[in-house]
């Protein structure tokens, strides 16, 4: 038997580490947590300082038995779970189960699974950090108190299988609030005037800016007419030329949140998929002759900090591949928000020299895509800024001013490797050139084109947008974003349409009840404060029991009130107007986990069910009596029609939206593009900016 036993969470991690440590070490996996609160009861002793009652997780008995036997035979046991709250808690639970002194130097942490990092970590083992453990316990107890008190009420009053939680309920609220904003949005008219201009034979564009040196907004067509009436002929004079050199800095390396956002934008990955693939890259990939290697650092982090070793390696790579002028002269300090836990580094490759294309053959398609994204972002973060030559030119005719902007990339810098994505599809103006213009030059307008516009409602949340918003609001932690988004969809509170979150009828019902009886759970500031309090526990500033007690005092009163006063919500069976093809009874709409479906009203004698003609929550614009439903053609293509068909023959290949066209009053539809959707009028030429 080996002298030392090392316990990690996963077999993949165990396999990688064992190769680095040598024959004296045996590495085994706990397969995640071995103890947790029981599923069948609250498991929190409220009367005795909220003490959790932990039990061995069902199915983990044999694993724990194997670990106990191995621990008895070893001279020393090292607990090497992940370097965060959850990992510290796993280590503490293992220590409790295996009778290991938590004050002894039994805990080993590393930020990356490489030979050097692993060997260094075993040179300086430490005691278990109880502040970290308490922070995790506080979170677990808090979530249990919320979930096990509210969920049974929702089961009783609405339907079985529902749940509530600090983070998930706020996420649903954000989605519903955004939907209400869109529904109640009143578009405002505004105009622009764009001009095509000529200097000699060279053409360029400029936009109306103002009159008599003052910026002017064009709100109506009358405003446009007044401006154009003021223009005399087609000769304009260049009154001002401003040339500047602008530097654009690279984005910092990835945090968990920014990785999820960028993987959604550039790779079309869901948050859950991003974290799963990142876990694989972290735990180790077999690279043939090189053996199994962890390719990235730990993927749950709020920090953009990078070790000096990693920086110098990146600089060496950049100088070798691109030249010294592309290497960052001095590293910019990363600014931390008050919410950031800086325990470990940003997400980066474990070696800058491990180029994605060099290891492509050893990776799956998804692993390659994500590793390439992480590697490029990290390398770019250590490169020189891009340098742009910008030019702004003012043109004037009888006091009417147009302005032209242009720029030219003078030095690509980091842009040679990577450019950060955005949520908005804005025209790339980074390389729009202007002719050589000087003050006093005479310019001629070819065409001045007035154009009517309307302000647009805010876009629905994509996964990337929602993660970004939760992070900005201080809601949740890197580890919670992916499971939260997954939970609210599995519960049937929201659905994804065109990669955007839309609240369901069930989600709105639950949200209204939560707003009435548990407003503090949905309060963004309250939830953010709770996250801050959990951070304070981690830093040893406050006792975790005190935080839970303060919360529970008012919360328990709301629970009693809800139990007594919340009325039962009957989601009544709604007749669908079609007969069951098996028994001839009426079919009714039923609410399931994933929304509505059709079921026979003669249940349980007849158990026939079928997919619904999915309602989209919109009255038919043609007959104004029926509802618009989603249908499928014989070729399985989705289209939209009135549920009163054949009495009403309304049909549309594009999905109608609730808002009317601000230009002509006809219905607006969502037209699918290659990337995203565009809202446009079904009748006139009105179009809104595409949404990714």
Q: Which residues are catalytic?
A: 298
Helix (H, G, I), strand (E, B) or coil at 207: strand
Which letter does DSSP use for residue 218 in this model?
A: B
Residue 440 structure tokens = 């006093």
What are the E-state strand segments in 159-219? Answer: 189-199, 202-211, 214-215
The dihedrals phi and psi of 226, each to the nearest 5 degrees, come to -60, -40
User: What's the token pair of residue 283?
Assistant: 């735990």
Residues 6+ apart with CB under 8 A from 543: 537
Identify the H or E element spanning 16.
helix 11-21
What is the spatial distance between Cα 238 and Cα 445, in angstroms, rounded to a whole number?
12
Q: C-alpha angle with apex 434: 428 to 440, nearest 5 degrees? A: 145
> Cα 174 to chain center, whole Å?
13
SS3 of 96-140: HHCCCCCCCCCECCCCECCHHHHHHHHHCCECCCHHHHHHHHHHH
Rounded Cα distance between 299 and 367, Å, is 14
Sequence-ordered alpha helix ranges (H) in 294-453: 308-321, 365-381
Pick the closest to residue 203 from 532, 551, 507, 435 (CA basis): 435
C-beta atoms surrounding 5 within 10 Å: 22
* Tokens standing for residue 365: 């398609």
CB 668 within 8 A of CB 657: yes
Residues 6+ apart with CB under 8 A from 167: 470, 475, 476, 480, 484, 527
Sign of the alpha-carbon dihedral angle for 167, 282, 538, 40: positive
Nearest to 112 by CA among 18, 13, 32: 13
């Amino acid at each position: 038997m080996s002298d030392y036993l090392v316990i990690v969470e996963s077999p993949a991690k165990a396999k990688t580490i064992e190769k680095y440590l040598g024959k004296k070490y045996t590495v085994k996996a706990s397969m995640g947590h071995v103890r947790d609160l029981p599923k069948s009861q609250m498991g929190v002793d409220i009367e005795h300082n909220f003490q959790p009652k932990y039990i061995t997780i069902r199915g983990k008995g044999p694993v724990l038995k194997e670990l106990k036997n191995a621990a008895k035979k070893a001279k020393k046991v090292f607990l090497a779970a992940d370097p965060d709250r959850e990992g510290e808690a796993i280590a503490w639970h293992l220590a409790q189960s295996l009778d290991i002194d938590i004050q002894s130097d039994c805990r080993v942490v590393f930020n990356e699974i490489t030979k050097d990092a692993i060997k260094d970590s075993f040179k300086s083992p430490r005691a278990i950090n109880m502040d970290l453990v308490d922070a995790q316990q506080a979170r677990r107890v808090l979530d249990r108190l919320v979930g096990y008190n509210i969920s049974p009420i929702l089961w009783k009053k609405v339907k079985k299988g529902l749940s509530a939680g600090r983070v998930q309920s706020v996420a649903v609220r954000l989605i519903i609030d955004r939907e209400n904003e869109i529904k109640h949005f009143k578009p405002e008219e505004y105009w622009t005037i764009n001009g095509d201009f000529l200097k000699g034979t060279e053409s360029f564009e400029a936009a109306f800016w103002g009159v008599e040196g003052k910026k002017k907004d064009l709100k109506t067509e009358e405003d446009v007419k007044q401006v154009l009436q003021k223009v005399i002929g087609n000769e304009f004079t260049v009154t001002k030329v401003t040339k500047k050199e602008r530097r654009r800095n690279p984005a910092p390396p990835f945090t968990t949140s920014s990785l999820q956002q960028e993987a959604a934008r550039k790779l079309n990955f869901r948050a859950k998929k991003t974290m799963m693939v990142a876990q694989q890259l972290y735990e180790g990939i077999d690279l043939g002759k090189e053996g199994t290697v962890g390719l990235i650092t730990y993927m749950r982090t709020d920090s953009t900090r990078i070790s000096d070793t990693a920086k110098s390696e990146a600089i060496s790579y950049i100088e070798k591949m691109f030249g010294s002028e592309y290497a960052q002269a001095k590293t910019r300090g990363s600014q931390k928000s008050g919410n950031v836990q800086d325990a470990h580094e940003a997400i980066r490759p474990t070696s800058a020299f491990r180029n994605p294309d060099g290891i492509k053959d050893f990776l799956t398609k998804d692993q390659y895509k994500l590793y390439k994204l992480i590697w490029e972002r990290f390398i770019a973060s250590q490169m020189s800024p891009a340098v742009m030559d910008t030019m702004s030119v003012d043109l004037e005719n009888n006091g009417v001013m147009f302005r032209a902007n242009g720029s030219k990339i003078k030095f690509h810098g980091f842009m040679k490797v990577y450019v950060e994505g955005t949520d908005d599809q804005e025209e790339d103006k980074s390389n729009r050139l202007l002719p050589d213009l000087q003050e006093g030059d005479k310019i001629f307008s070819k065409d001045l084109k007035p154009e009517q516009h309307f302000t647009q409602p805010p876009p629905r949340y994509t996964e990337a947008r929602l993660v970004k918003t939760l992070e900005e609001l201080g809601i949740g932690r890197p580890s919670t974003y992916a499971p939260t988004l997954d939970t609210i969809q599995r519960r049937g509170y929201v659905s994804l349409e065109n990669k955007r979150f839309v609240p369901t009828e069930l989600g709105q019902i639950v949200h209204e009840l939560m707003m009435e009886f548990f407003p503090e759970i949905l309060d963004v500031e309250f939830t953010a404060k709770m996250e801050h309090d959990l951070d304070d526990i981690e830093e040893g500033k406050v006792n975790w029991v005190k935080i839970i007690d303060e919360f529970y005092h008012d919360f328990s009163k709301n629970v009693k009130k809800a139990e007594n006063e919340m009325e039962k919500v009957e989601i009544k069976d709604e007749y669908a107007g079609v007969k069951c093809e098996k028994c001839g009874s009426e079919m009714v709409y039923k609410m399931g986990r994933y929304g509505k479906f059709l079921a026979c009203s003669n249940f349980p004698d007849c158990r026939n069910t079928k997919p619904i003609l999915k309602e989209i929550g919109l009255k038919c614009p043609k007959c104004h009596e029926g509802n618009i439903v989603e249908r499928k053609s014989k070729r399985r293509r989705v289209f939209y029609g009135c549920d009163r068909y054949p009495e009403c023959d309304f049909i549309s290949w594009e999905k109608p939206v609730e808002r009317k066209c601000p230009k002509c009053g006809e219905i607006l539809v969502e037209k699918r593009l290659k990337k995203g959707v565009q809202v446009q009028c079904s009748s006139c030429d009105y179009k809104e900016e595409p949404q990714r």
